[in-house]
Amino acid sequence: MSFLHLDHVSYHYFYKKGYTKALENVSFTVPEGSFISLLGPSGCGKTTLLSIIAGILEPSEGTIQLEEKPLEASKLDIGYMLQQDYLFPWKTILENVLMGPKIQKMQKRAMKEKAIKLLEDIGLSKVIDSYPQSLSGGMRQRAALVRTLLTDPKLLLLDEPFSALDFQTKLKLEDLVSGLLKEFNKTSVLVTHDIGEAIAMSDKIFLMKANPGEIHEVFEVPIEIRNLTPFQARKHLKYQQLFDRVWEELNSLESQTVSR
Ligand SMILES: Nc1ncnc2c1ncn2[C@@H]1O[C@H](COP(=O)(O)OP(=O)(O)OP(=O)(O)O)[C@@H](O)[C@H]1O
């Protein structure tokens, strides 16, 4: 079943004296339980596209369907994970993950138990009652992930969630997040600048180009890599081969953008 479907989506930002074609004719389908990445040079419309899927921006043209219903009619919960963790410094980790209007409306005791279990699973059992400022960047991002997963969204939108972390922490978190998303059969869309991350985590990569923002090429990640953890995937020969192909294409797109 097509879980998420975009049909000829365009988005234009208007100013007093003109407009920018941030997205032009973007169409693709994401099956349930799969993980796709949006990769491309700066300004190709990745964040705009994610905001449209989240329902924050309305497309200038085209339609979006979730579970075969128009996005605006869908009751589906969408989770968002960003580069910044947005934890409140005056609340403990447990209080932070239980924040949010949706969680507040749910059964308090059951949610608290679920939150503690998830925090334990993700290796944060010792810091449940600590404040965010005493945690490392990776721990804070793990807490933010728990907050996102707690409402049990079927669709997860990840906007460069690992880009502010050091390399080692990022690799560990990629494995953790990928494992959890597979276990709970989530459908995910990741925005990233990192080719390796896109290959190691995704089923498919949509390489975008700028001016106007379009899908330039779609790369299928070989099944041999998809069955591995992201860390193991990075050591596979097929990972290297795909890395080289995507690198070459991205480089040529970036040089076209610079020479404009
Ligand atoms: N609020 C805005 N007003 C006007 N133009 C905008 C606005 N936001 C983005 N744009 C323009 O739309 C285009 C796409 O921007 P977007 O931020 O979606 O790209 P991106 O691929 O996410 O970029 P980056 O990788 O640098 O984050 C760019 O040309 C950008 O300058």
Q: What is the C-alpha to C-alpha distance for residues 219 and 238, in angstroms, rounded to an integer?
A: 13
Q: What is the C-alpha to C-alpha distance for residues 158 and 50, in angstroms, rounded to an integer?
A: 8
Pocket test for ligand 1, best of 9, 13, 42, 84 (most atoms within 8 A of CB): 13
Reading the chain (260 residues) residue by residue, the pLDDT tens digits are 689 999 999 999 998 888 889 999 999 999 999 999 999 998 999 999 999 998 889 999 999 999 988 888 777 778 888 778 889 999 999 999 998 656 666 677 888 898 998 899 888 999 999 999 999 988 998 898 888 888 888 899 999 888 878 888 889 889 988 998 898 899 999 999 999 999 999 999 999 999 899 999 999 999 999 989 999 999 999 999 999 999 999 998 887 765 55
Q: 48 CA to middle of ligand 1, Å?
A: 7
Q: 84 CA to middle of ligand 1, Å?
A: 18
Is this structure's pTM higher than 0.95?
Answer: no
Tell the residue nearest (CA) to atom 24 of ligand 1.
42
Using alpha carbons, select from 5, 3, 17, 19 the residue that is nearest to residue 60. Answer: 19
Task: Check residue 253 and give its pLDDT.
Answer: 86
Q: What is the C-alpha to C-alpha distance for residues 129 and 58, in angstroms, rounded to an integer?
A: 40
Closest ligand 1 atom number to CA of residue 211:
29
Task: Check residue 68 and give its pLDDT.
Answer: 86
Is the C-beta atom of 44 inside 6 A of ligand 1?
A: yes
Closest ligand 1 atom number to CA of residue 51:
18
CB 6 within 8 A of CB 70: no
Tell the residue nearest (CA) to atom 13 of ligand 1.
22
CB 204 within 8 A of CB 173: no
Tell the residue nearest (CA) to atom 25 of ligand 1.
42
Using alpha carbons, select from 77, 63, 78 the residue that is nearest to residue 26. Answer: 63
Tell the residue nearest (CA) to atom 14 of ligand 1.
45
Task: Check residue 103 and give its pLDDT.
Answer: 65
Instruction: Go through the domains of the chain in sequence order and give each one's CATH number.
Output: 2-76+155-258 (3.40.50.300), 89-153 (no CATH)
Q: 209 CA to middle of ligand 1, Å?
A: 12
ipTM over 0.95: yes
Residue 125 DSSP class? G
